[in-house]
A and B are shown apart, each in its own frame.
With several copies, the nearest count.
Chain A
Amino acid sequence: MTVLESMAPPTGGRFGDFGGRYVPESLVPACAALETAFREAWADATFHERLAELRSVYAGRPTALTPATTLSADLGITLMLKREDLAHTGSHKINNVLGQALLAQRMGKTRLIAETGAGQHGVATATAAALFGMRATIYMGERDMARQRLNVFRMELLGAEVIPVTAGSRTLKDATNEAMRGWVAAVEEAHFCLGSAAGPHPYPWLVRQFQRVIGEEARAQAAVQPDVVVACVGGGSNAAGTFAGFVDTRARLVGVEAAGGAAMTHGRPGIVHGYRSMLLQDEQGQILEAESISAGLDYPGIGPEHAHLGALGRAEYVTVTDDEAVAALGRLARAEGIICALESAHAVAWVLRAAGTPELPAGSTVLLTLSGRGDKDMATLAGVTE
């Protein structure tokens, strides 16, 4: 399969060797119905119009493309920032959620179920549910709830029910299991609004399609086409959406994982949460807990399209430590007046580290997606820096 084909609607839900639909029989018809509905919607001009309208009048799109003037001068590169931190609710998650909510409405669903790690996807889902007059049930690991109290409060304010997940590591991985269980029990009325380019087919594809607006906007906005395109990777949705705009160019695609959640770098193929991809797992095949300061990257898997792009060599995946991310967040804030999310700071950290080395030669033009804003992380950072 060529790279371009790999970006097309996946046959049988596969990106090369990855993807698939490894779900309980109870969910198969729902996944199939979702796939059909999405194919129909995606072929329907009215759907695209409504989505475009929501994006612009509600979510604040297009988001800006900001030249990082000071950092560019300091690093000897040309760095452009795609500003998903400016999107409504504070991250790229809203792009996906608005698309899925429109789809859910089209399918006659009255309720959205979602998992959340950092809480950004939960807030985005609660937001879309409020906007569409739907119920929202958000599953969130207890540990993440403690780390991201602000977002829990926001979800509740938006009228969502936030269900604490006490199983396992009490983070995103466990919240995902629990959300899928919740979906099994409510599959007729509820749409599972998955938050990343992961999960069973059609999610990885569908989520990337809803996120490709990032890459497509950036490509149209950039005065100079980038040599390198960088984004952080948790489940992989902001990266997939960004890469989608550049996969048919000569730009290098770089996904930055948290060192403690680096499925591409430290994982092996496996199956969890309904899809086959690279996974952090032990010798026995038990899924490992990721360990990252950033709740949104604290996930042992990665979307199957990334596993495929990695296998093809079309994209590279690198890792950044907690300390590097924290330092990068501060440096970006002081240099450009932008406080990004800890997740996004991983992408920044790689650029800071690589610029001027053979990894990222001086003179390069770099497009970096700032996936979200940092307000949610201030408490965590205050804890680290004090």
Chain B
Amino acid sequence: MKRLYPYLTGGITEDWTDYLLAYQEAGADAIEIGLPFSDPMLDGTTIQQASDRALRRGTTVDAILADLAAVRDRISVPLFAMTYANLVFRDGPEVFCRRLAEAGVSGLIVPDVPVDEADGLSAAAEAAGVDLVLLAAPVTPPERLAEIAARSRGFVYAVSVLGTTGERDELAGTAAPLAARIKAVTDLPVLIGFGISRPEHATAAARAGDGVVVASALMRRVLDGATPGELLDDVAALRAAVDQADQEVPADHAHAEVSGDRG
């Protein structure tokens, strides 16, 4: 089964956890929760705006984790926190990971902590029972890719494109080859993220890997005022698109199709 991991910026609205429930209801396999940071280096305009809005609302990591704890018993899918190094190292990675675990968050993605800087965090995450997900990029060289895959937990995040998060007209031609390279060196699921903006991108990406992460396309809707109910429909459409990849062709063919975008 191909996976769908939709993203939500924590604390974006007062009742932000309603979106989580809607995502779950629409068929999310797991949910990524952004812990907003003032300087989200790897994020494009949409996630920057979402982070800004959440912070201007007065959101904090504590508040988000408290909100999560409150809905914890209604959420059955795994939750991954996505945030930046400064928040993780603020009180030390041990404290941070323990608090995640206590709030029911089982994974962590920190885009500005590459594998070389991950030692302390890896250990802390492991000790707290949190999966530290590492990211791989199209420019990652083979040996390094192997190391990332080996040290990643939960899944490997394939950054589809040389660029920030944000919607794009086409799925990057770099997505499928990267997914293939990662799959060649690991048995962990490989999720493709960055720029999955339309159901057809989701289908194509899910074909190439084991599933997709969708962030900006959903957050733009939330920023525009769409309700949890409306988001449920969006996620459901993505779910259908991802599922389509399951019903089709071998990976080889899918690969060729996706990389066709390159020309």
Task: Report if A and B touch in the complex (beta carbons < 8 A).
Answer: yes
Residues of A within 8 A of B (CB): 12, 20-26, 28-30, 167-168, 173-174, 177, 180-181, 184-188, 269-274, 276, 279, 281, 284-287
Interface string of B77-121 (1 = CB under 8 A from A): 000000011110110000000000000000000011111110000
Alpha-carbon distance A186/B43, docked complex (angstroms)? 15
Contact of A181 among B42, B114, B139 (CB under 8 A): B42
- In the complex the two chains form, is B114's CB within 8 Å of A24's CB? yes
Alpha-carbon distance A238/B113, docked complex (angstroms)? 28
Task: List the B side residues contacting A29 at CB < 8 Å.
Answer: 139-141, 144
Of the listed stretches B22-30, B159-167, B209-217, B222-230, chain A binds: B159-167
- In the complex the two chains form, is A270's CB within 8 Å of B44's CB? no
Could you say which of A26, A181, A281 has the most chain B C-beta atoms within 10 Å of its C-beta? A26
Residues of B within 8 A of A (CB): 37-44, 48, 52, 55, 60-61, 84-87, 89-90, 111-117, 134-141, 144, 148, 159, 162-164
- Asked if A173 meets B39 with Cβ closer than 8 Å, knowing A24-B137, A187-B162, A271-B86, the reply is yes
- Asked if A21 meets B117 with Cβ closer than 8 Å, knowing A185-B162, A271-B89, the reply is yes
- Asked if A168 meets B38 with Cβ closer than 8 Å, knowing A272-B86, A281-B86, A284-B61, the reply is yes
Task: List the B side residues contacting A284 at CB < 8 Å.
Answer: 60-61, 87, 90
- In the complex the two chains form, is A184's CB within 8 Å of B162's CB? yes
Contact of B162 among A168, A188, A271, A279 (CB under 8 A): A188
Task: List the A side residues contacting B140 at CB < 8 Å.
Answer: 25, 28-29
Task: List the B side residues contacting A168 at CB < 8 Å.
Answer: 38-39, 52
Q: What are 11 pairs between A and B in contact, CB < 8 Å?
A: A22-B117, A24-B42, A24-B159, A25-B159, A29-B140, A186-B162, A187-B139, A271-B112, A272-B86, A279-B86, A281-B90
Contact of B164 among A20, A22, A28, A184 (CB under 8 A): A184
Extra pairs beyond A177-B41, A281-B86 (7, CB < 8 Å): A24-B137, A25-B134, A28-B137, A167-B52, A185-B162, A274-B41, A286-B55
- Asked if A287 meets B41 with Cβ closer than 8 Å, knowing A181-B164, A272-B86, the reply is no
- In the complex the two chains form, is B163's CB within 8 Å of A185's CB? yes
- Asked if A181 meets B87 with Cβ closer than 8 Å, knowing A22-B117, A168-B38, A168-B39, the reply is no
- In the complex the two chains form, is B136's CB within 8 Å of A177's CB? no
Alpha-carbon distance A55/B141, docked complex (angstroms)? 36
- Asked if A25 meets B37 with Cβ closer than 8 Å, knowing A181-B44, A284-B61, the reply is no
Alpha-carbon distance A173/B84, docked complex (angstroms)? 16
Task: List the B side residues contacting A188 at CB < 8 Å.
Answer: 139, 162
Task: List the A side residues contacting B114 at CB < 8 Å.
Answer: 21-25, 28
- In the complex the two chains form, is A25's CB within 8 Å of B148's CB? yes
Question: Which 10 residue pairs across A and B have the least CB separation, nearest first?
Answer: A285-B90, A26-B137, A271-B85, A286-B38, A185-B163, A25-B137, A287-B38, A271-B86, A22-B112, A24-B42
Alpha-carbon distance A114/B42, docked complex (angstroms)? 17
Contact of A177 among B39, B60, B85, B139 (CB under 8 A): B39
Task: List the B side residues contacting A287 at CB < 8 Å.
Answer: 38-39, 86
- In the complex the two chains form, is B90's CB within 8 Å of A167's CB? no
Task: List the A side residues contacting B40 at CB < 8 Å.
Answer: 177
Count A-B contacts at CB 8 Å: 111
Task: List the B side residues contacting A185 at CB < 8 Å.
Answer: 162-164
- Asked if A274 meets B86 with Cβ closer than 8 Å, knowing A29-B140, A177-B41, the reply is no
Alpha-carbon distance A274/B90, docked complex (angstroms)? 15
Task: List the A side residues contacting B134 at CB < 8 Å.
Answer: 25
Contact of A26 among B43, B55, B60, B139 (CB under 8 A): B139
Task: List the A side residues contacting B135 at CB < 8 Å.
Answer: 24-25
- In the complex the two chains form, is B39's CB within 8 Å of A273's CB? yes
Task: List the A side residues contacting B43 at CB < 8 Å.
Answer: 181
Alpha-carbon distance A26/B148, docked complex (angstroms)? 13
B117 to chain A, nearest CB (A): 6
Task: List the A side residues contacting B116 at CB < 8 Å.
Answer: 12, 21, 28
- In the complex the two chains form, is B42's CB within 8 Å of A270's CB? no
- Asked if A167 meets B112 with Cβ closer than 8 Å, knowing A24-B42, A272-B39, A285-B87, the reply is no
Alpha-carbon distance A281/B61, docked complex (angstroms)? 15
Alpha-carbon distance A286/B58, docked complex (angstroms)? 11
Alpha-carbon distance A269/B111, docked complex (angstroms)? 19
B139 closest partner in A (C-beta): A29
Task: List the A side residues contacting B44 at CB < 8 Å.
Answer: 181
- In the complex the two chains form, is B86's CB within 8 Å of A25's CB? no
- In the complex the two chains form, is A270's CB within 8 Å of B86's CB? yes
Could you say which of B39, B84, B137, B144 has the most chain A C-beta atoms within 10 Å of its C-beta? B39
Task: List the A side residues contacting B162 at CB < 8 Å.
Answer: 26, 184-188
- In the complex the two chains form, is B41's CB within 8 Å of A26's CB? no
- In the complex the two chains form, is B42's CB within 8 Å of A184's CB? yes
- Asked if A270 meets B117 with Cβ closer than 8 Å, knowing A23-B112, A25-B137, A168-B38, the reply is no
A182 to chain B, nearest CB (A): 9
- In the complex the two chains form, is A26's CB within 8 Å of B85's CB? no
Alpha-carbon distance A30/B116, docked complex (angstroms)? 14
Alpha-carbon distance A20/B119, docked complex (angstroms)? 13
- In the complex the two chains form, is A181's CB within 8 Å of B41's CB? yes
B168 to chain A, nearest CB (A): 11
A278 to chain B, nearest CB (A): 12
Could you say which of A29, A281, A284 has the most chain B C-beta atoms within 10 Å of its C-beta? A284
Alpha-carbon distance A269/B85, docked complex (angstroms)? 12
A313 to chain B, nearest CB (A): 24
Task: List the A side residues contacting B85 at CB < 8 Å.
Answer: 22, 271
- Asked if A270 meets B39 with Cβ closer than 8 Å, knowing A22-B113, A23-B112, the reply is no
Task: List the B side residues contacting A272 at CB < 8 Å.
Answer: 39, 86
B174 to chain A, nearest CB (A): 10
